[in-house]
Structure formats: C-alpha cells, structure tokens
Amino acid sequence: MALADEMLEKIKLSIVNMEDQKAVELTKLALADHAAEDILNQALIPAMEIVGNEYEEGRKFIPEMLLAAEAMTGALELLKPLLARSGAKKAGKVVMGTVEGDVHDIGQRMVCIMLEGAGFEVLSLGADVSASEFVQAVKTANPDILGLSALLTTTAPRMKSVIEALQKEGLRDKVKIMVGGAILNQRLADEYGADGYAPDAASATRLARTLMESRA
C-alpha cells in the first residue's frame, strides 16, 4: 500500500512540476495496480488543486499553469476510457466558452482543464461563441453549469445577451451560470444575472463545486 501511495504521489508531483511525459509514463505504470478513479481522485485532482492554489498565491503563473495542465491532460486521456467504463460518478457537467466577438481562449481553456482535473465532464465550445450556439449547447448537452468567459469591455456585456437568450428559450432555470475573465467582477456578474463569478481558473473550480451543491 505504501508503494502504491508513493506512485500516486509521484504522479501528483510530476503534474505539479510540469513534467508531461513523466506524468503519462507514471500513470501507465500506476494503472497496473490502481483503479483509474483512484488515480484521478488521489493524484490528478490534488495536483491541480496544488497548482491552482499556487497560482492564487502568486507562486505559479500562466505558463506554469498551462504546462501543469498539459501534464494533467496527458494523464487524464489515459484514464478517460477506463473511467467511462467503470461508470465513475462525474462531479458535474459543464459547457464552457468565450462569448461572441472575443477570441481570447486561454482563460476558458485553463478553466476547462482545471474542471476536468477536478472530475467534471467538460464540453468546451472554444472562443467567439454566439448566444444561439450557447443556447443550442445547453439544449443538446444538458449541462449542470454554463461557463462564460470574456476578456474585453466590448464583449463582456454579451454574457448578458446569452443569459437573456436562455431565458427566452425557457432554459435559464435549468442551468447554473458562472462567468469570469479579466474584465469581470462580482458587480458585473450580478448585473448580467449570473449565478457566480470567479476571478481565475482555480476559484472557478471551487465555484463550480459550490454551484453543484446548490443544485442538489
């Protein structure tokens, strides 16, 4: 058992240290005597929590977050089919995207990776997504949470348009909406009618968990 724990610890550290190849190799080895769900819950999720905390504390920055996320994604890709087969319970389902007219993708991508690392099923629509595309995705994917990102003063108000479009289609109450991006703050999130605001990828994960609890 001690050896097994050591392996999970090594995977965790390889992600925190942004060693993508090592994370994949160790995950392959770990799968010989670990359930995929254990690797996810005891190595990948804690690793991304550490990375997120270090980002919030100003000890890691965007490059380190992205590289750690790459390492985590490599490991997660190995686990995904096994998790699907085992019927492991997801933390929730999230549809994410940057609003129309805004091609800034890094923020929403970081949130997606952190959410995946935290056990959420994530569907990323990418950047420059129209209100009708968000509505369509909510209809077809039926997510628990819709995440909207914007970096610009000019595009942030389109979050409100998305929320209004969901209201018009009678979908607003079926999904929790969280917003984020450099230009956002709690006041704007309230003004747009969102259920929550997160200033960065780490807090977005916490917010998503809180929103899931409020759905329960």
| Binding residue (CB under 8 A) for other proteins from 70, 133, 164, 169 | 70
CA distance to 118, 186, 204, 207, per residue, from 213 (Å): 15, 20, 14, 10
Whole-number Cα distances in Å, 40 to 96, 100, 142: 21, 33, 24
Contact track, other proteins, 106-145, x by CB under 8 A: x--x------------------x-----------------
**In contact, 43 and 15? CB cutoff 8 Å:** yes
Q: Which listed range, 34-42, 76-84, 137-145, 183-191, lies at the site for other proteins (CB under 8 A)? A: 183-191
Please choose, from the candidates 51, 78, 70, the residue with its C-alpha nearest in 3D space to the C-alpha of residue 202. Answer: 51
**The one segment of 64-72, 118-126, 163-171, 207-215 that binds other proteins by CB under 8 A:** 64-72
Least distance from C-beta 64 to other proteins, angstroms? Answer: 6
Cβ proximity of 114 and 201 under 8 Å: yes
State how far Cα 137 lies from the chain centre. Answer: 17
Number of residues binding to other proteins, judged by CB under 8 A = 28
Q: Where along the sequence are the contacts to other proteins (CB under 8 A)? A: 18, 58, 61-64, 66-67, 70, 101-106, 109, 128, 152-155, 182-185, 187-188, 199
